[in-house]
Chain A
Amino acid sequence: MPLFEVRALTHFFGGLRAVSDFNLTFDGGELTGLIGPNGAGKTTVFNLVCGVYHPTHGEVRIDGRSLGRLYPHQVTAMGIARTFQNIRLWPEMTVLDNIRVCHNYKLGYGFLDTIFQTSRYHTAEKGIGRRAREVLEIMGLRDHAEELAKNLPYGLQRKVEIARALILRPKLLLLDEPSAGMNLGEKEALIGLIRWIRKEFNLTIWLIEHEMRVVMNLCERIQVLDFGQTIAEGTPEEIQGNPRVVEAYLGKEVG
């Protein structure tokens, strides 16, 4: 049974076919890229997988279970975590709280425990605090734990986003343009970081990326979307040589 499977995923926005007949299978441990020109429907695919939109046709399965019409938080609890194209941290919360809140997917106590501060509450909160600090430590963010998320520099905010996804203990991690807005040095560091967390957490990673250097360096397989259609699929070398991909990005040569 594959870890993750997308079958014939199709989505309409009104009359616009944003994604059509998208297919994908992960057996576990892959690092795959999803590329394509602006507006090709890449983020829509991620949104469909996360339960932000529900597909018009087709289905998404994780561990053999169909996601159906689950809410995003339920999808998250099933092991899919993501980051966002334009950073979506909670700006007025501390970095530590940003991480802690994500633990709502598996809280271990209820409302009444909160109010009466039962021993169950204390145990669970201690565990959550410890895990949050662990993740911060791993991501090298320990010194920023008490800072407000909005006060961090851009590169660190991206790291907090990844840390936030990691505390969800995902099986599949979706990264939406992780290198956007980074300089060359930061991009190099990012490539190293992604490789490292994949090994450390035994993750399957699926990323959207515009920066070819990052994609070609990182990914073992790449899928190319254009106008919602999968136009190519293969190893980085195959993709680089594919005339349809060049055409989608640069346009057709006239004459």
Chain B
Amino acid sequence: MLVWFCRMKQYSLTLSAFLFFVLVVGLSWAGTLSSYIQLVLMFVGVNIMMSSSLNLVNGYMGEFSCGHAGFMAVGAYAASLVTVWCFTAESVFGPNLLPPAWAVVLFPFILLFGGVIAALAGLLVAIPSFRTRGDYLAIITLAVNYIVKSAIENIQPIGGARGFMGMARVVNGMKEVADIPWMMIWTWAFVFLTVLLIKRFVSSTYGKGIIAIREDEIAAEIMGVNTRRAKMVAFMLSSGLAGLAGGLFAHILGYINPGSFGIMKSTEALVMVYLGGMGSLSGSVLSAVLFTLLLEILRPLQLYKWVVVPFILILLMLFRTEGLLGHRELTDVFPILKRIFGSREEVHAAF
């Protein structure tokens, strides 16, 4: 009985995540949720991916990357170009390469492809990080953000500054196969994948190497951590996941333009990381949810929205500097969660 209970505990987090997923998708499908609420829910998902992936570099590794939106842009464009090229007729690429129905199967792989390309773009930041750190690296990320945005603006065949569209047709193609909320499904599937991936990485001895880099890089290198490799992995994983988020973002909206991937977007990601707490994965998730909802709630304020939001954050910094959760996880703040969800180590220790 005890054994069974402990086993259940181990899966309760997965189970509740799954229930949430079924609920959201089910309600969207049934039409209970308005399309506006669906859109907000999907943006919540994208923002969770953005904040938790940036937390990997800024929180766990202690670097200051302020150009996360650049990688999002790379992923968004890479994935969108491929889907539009493959599945839509009359695009800049001419007739469709594959039947639009195939998108149903190939879509996640194309998103992953976008992520891989973004991860490669992450090398632009990772390689300079071997020699520089701290504020100089902050500039490099900033410059990379500008470079990506500016480069896209200058490539006319993909729309330049006007943006790129056609993704809406790809999503419609999927809807013709089966009328289910495809984007909701993919978004939240990838959100769970992202969180799982980061969770697994940072709790491994391999991933803890990047925390050691934050705490004392030289000691980490001398005590056997291959800091170059660790940084490269962390940057590429982080930018790759941002790229995935970008691909989803592009297909949720149906069109993208380079203007949406500017410093402002990067700042939003930064805010979410520090709001939730550096090096706290559950903090990043929580803050992404709160921040996205806050922005939506404040929408009626229009002009004043971006006065109120920074003001709240300054107050937060002054009175609760370490963010909502600091370095801790939700389970540390509310021990009851630990009893319900339990951690894997505990389960192992119980036997």
Contacts and interface: CB of A to CB of B under 8 A. Distances in A.
Direct contact of A and B (CB under 8 A): yes
Interface of A: 50, 52, 71-73, 76-77, 81-82, 84, 88-93, 97, 100-107, 109, 111, 114-115, 117, 121, 124-125, 128, 164-165, 168
A90 B224 contact: no
Contacts of A52: 218, 222
B123 interface: no
A91 B211 CA distance: 10
Most buried by B among A72, A76, A84, A165: A72
Most buried by A among B204, B206, B223, B224: B223
Nearest to B219: A88
Contacts of A121: 204
A82 B221 CA distance: 12
Specify the main secondary structure of chain A where it touches its partner. helix
A108 to B, nearest CB: 10
Contact of B206 (A72, A97, A107): A107
Closest 6 CB pairs of A and B: A105-B224, A90-B215, A88-B219, A76-B224, A104-B225, A114-B204
B215 A71 contact: no
B244 to A, nearest CB: 14
10 contacts: A71-B226, A82-B222, A88-B218, A92-B327, A93-B211, A101-B208, A101-B220, A102-B224, A104-B225, A121-B204
B222 A72 contact: yes
Contacts of B215: 89-93
B216 A101 contact: no
Given A93-B212, A102-B224, A104-B225, A115 B205 contact: no
Contacts of B201: 114-115
Interface of B: 197, 200-201, 204-209, 211-212, 214-216, 218-228, 230, 233, 327
A164 B218 CA distance: 15
A164 B220 CA distance: 11
A106 B206 CA distance: 10
Contacts of A102: 223-225
Most buried by A among B206, B215, B233, B327: B206
Most buried by A among B205, B214, B220: B205
B224 A100 contact: no
Contact of B222 (A50, A92, A93): A50
Contacts of A164: 223
Specify the main secondary structure of chain B where it touches its partner. helix
Contacts of B228: 71
A81 B221 CA distance: 11
A76 B222 contact: yes
A73 B226 contact: yes
Given A107-B206, A114-B207, A128-B205, A101 B212 contact: yes
Given A114-B206, A117-B200, A101 B223 contact: yes
A107 B205 contact: yes
Most buried by B among A77, A89, A114, A165: A114
Nearest to A92: B215
Contact of B223 (A107, A128, A168): A168
A125 B222 contact: no
Given A92-B327, A107-B205, A109-B206, A115 B197 contact: yes
Contacts of A88: 216, 218-219
A115 B240 CA distance: 14
Contact of A111 (B205, B220, B225, B233): B233
Given A73-B223, A101-B205, 7 more contacts: A50-B222, A73-B224, A90-B211, A97-B211, A102-B223, A102-B224, A115-B201
Nearest to A90: B215
Given A92-B327, A115-B200, A117-B200, A97 B208 contact: yes
A211 to B, nearest CB: 23
Contacts of B327: 92
A128 B207 CA distance: 14
B200 A101 contact: no
B225 A73 contact: yes
Nearest to B222: A72
A102 B223 CA distance: 5
A179 to B, nearest CB: 20
A194 to B, nearest CB: 19
Contacts of B226: 71, 73, 104
Nearest to B228: A71
B262 to A, nearest CB: 31
